[in-house]
Amino acid sequence: GLFRLAASESGLCYLAFPKHTEASFYNWIKQWYPDHEVQENQAPFVQVIEQLKSYFAGELQEFDLQLDFGEVTGNLFIGLTVDDVQLKGPTGPILSAGRISVRYHLPMLLQRKLVVNHLSIERLHLDLTRKEDGTWNISDFIGSEIQEPDRPRSGKPFGILVKTLLMSSSTVNIEDTTERPTQRYLFEGIQLDIGLESTSVLMADIRHLAFRLKQPQLVVKGLKGGVHYDLNDNHLKLDGLSIETDQSQLILNAQLQRDKPVPEFTLDANIAALSLAELGHWLSIPEPNRGRIIGKVYLNGTPNHMSHRLSLEMDGQTLTAEGVLKRDDDHDFGLVTNGKIRHLNPAGWPL
């Protein structure tokens, strides 16, 4: 494929791989070097080209090149560390980070796969806004660059493997102006350890995730498990997703299939502890204000026909039930269920 190189008077500043378009290459130069004039000249890149050829031939591991990346340290072809990162779009700041460190394995690009061995992001602050037309503010910056012209697809899709992604002391602010009133979600204190792989299927191995959600208020002390999303079949799967908050703990297995005329959904929840006070606080309702539920919940079906199986216990009271929840063409709900309630004690209800 065709590699495109850009250099300033200080040294090499950009290497665009074959997957990037010519338009995105020049857009990058215009974004980061607006006061510079572009001159096409291969002479400054003789050394770079020779070292690239040796690197992809397996003859070279270390490069001797002068770089121009501002506050960047490391080896361009093995790994980099960037301090005080800032990204601004036409509508304002989008992203900032105290430090981003990445180590990668470039030769796998020849096999249509980007391998990132380690990616660390410290003190990330991300502001995402969904505008009234449904687009996101980040598309102002990357939208025109991520579109590639139509071309014949090769048999092998381009793959991305991130073996370890670490995030610490980070904040994500989301504002959705398509909602009335505008909805705002602030995630603070984000700590993340995850592995990612993407081809036609996106797979995430969440080893640890913790955060504080300000409104509605929720503190997640630990979340781990597997997430799989098939882009072709529009099929989402949660595999052993364990969630722990200050007062609750549960494990979820779930599937959502959206490739059918009516989406199908399956949820299997094993509840070690579900705090009703915490749930009420998260839903911003005064009741329930106490109590704890343990047990199992199984749901399967479509939005119009959902079967259920419950086995729950709260303060010595038990509920077992099985049946179907239906919705007719007038959007009226009907419940058909049978079960048992034992040791009923209304005085102990959290109301």
Per residue in 247-293, pLDDT tens? 999 999 999 998 888 899 999 999 999 998 888 877 777 666 678 99
pLDDT, average across residues 33-54: 78
Neighbours of 119 (CB within 10 A): 19
Rounded CA-CA distance 116/102 in Å is 7
The proportion of the chain whose per-residue pLDDT surpasses 90, expressed as a percent, equals 38
Rounded CA-CA distance 190/188 in Å is 5
Averaged pLDDT score across all residues of the chain? 82
SS3 state at 2: coil
Rounded CA-CA distance 276/281 in Å is 8
Instruction: Look at residue 344 and tell me whether its pLDDT is greater than 80.
Output: no
Rounded CA-CA distance 89/140 in Å is 6
Instruction: Look at residue 238 and tell me whether its pLDDT is greater than 70.
Output: yes
The proportion of the chain whose per-residue pLDDT surpasses 70, expressed as a percent, equals 83
pLDDT band at 219 (very low <50, low <70, confident <90, very high): very high
* Model pLDDT, residue 282: 77
CB 70 within 8 A of CB 12: no
Helices (H), 57-180: 139-142
Rounded CA-CA distance 277/236 in Å is 30
Q: What is the DSSP letter of 216?
A: T
Instruction: Please tell me the number of Cα atoms within 13 Å of 316 on its side-chain side.
Output: 6
pLDDT band at 149 (very low <50, low <70, confident <90, very high): very low
Tell which wins on pLDDT, 273 or 32: 273
Instruction: Return the top range by mean pLDDT from 79-88, 279-288, 317-326.
Output: 317-326
* Model pLDDT, residue 221: 96
* Model pLDDT, residue 89: 61
Concatenated DSSP letters for 6-70?
Answer: EEETTEEEEEE-TTS-HHHHHHHHHHH-TTSPP---SGGGHHHHHHHHHHHTTS-SS----B--S
pLDDT, average across residues 93-114: 82
Rounded CA-CA distance 305/330 in Å is 14
pLDDT band at 167 (very low <50, low <70, confident <90, very high): very high
Question: Is beta strand 11-16 parallel, antiparallel or unpaired with respect to 4-8?
Answer: antiparallel
Residue among 80, 58, 60, 55 nearest 70 (CA): 80
Let me know the angle formed at the C-alpha of 85 by 82 and 87, rounded to the nearest 5 degrees: 140
pLDDT, average across residues 134-161: 61
Strand locations in 143-234, DSSP E?
159-176, 183-198, 201-213, 218-230
pLDDT, average across residues 186-210: 95
Q: Give the least confident one: 35-39, 113-117, 152-156, 239-243.
A: 152-156
pLDDT, average across residues 333-351: 77
Q: What letter represents residue 298's amino acid?
A: Y
* Model pLDDT, residue 306: 92
* Model pLDDT, residue 148: 40
Rounded CA-CA distance 326/304 in Å is 5
Q: CB-based contacts of 311: which residues, under 8 Å, 6+ apart?
A: 295, 296, 318, 319, 320
* Model pLDDT, residue 120: 96
The burial class, CB within 10 Å (0-12 / 13-18 / 19+), for 252 is middle
Q: How far is CA 113 from the centre of its chain?
A: 20
Rounded CA-CA distance 287/335 in Å is 24
- Token pair for 44: 């400054």
CB 118 within 8 A of CB 103: yes
Q: What is the DSSP letter of 1?
A: -
Rounded CA-CA distance 191/209 in Å is 6
* Model pLDDT, residue 11: 66
Rounded CA-CA distance 63/37 in Å is 27
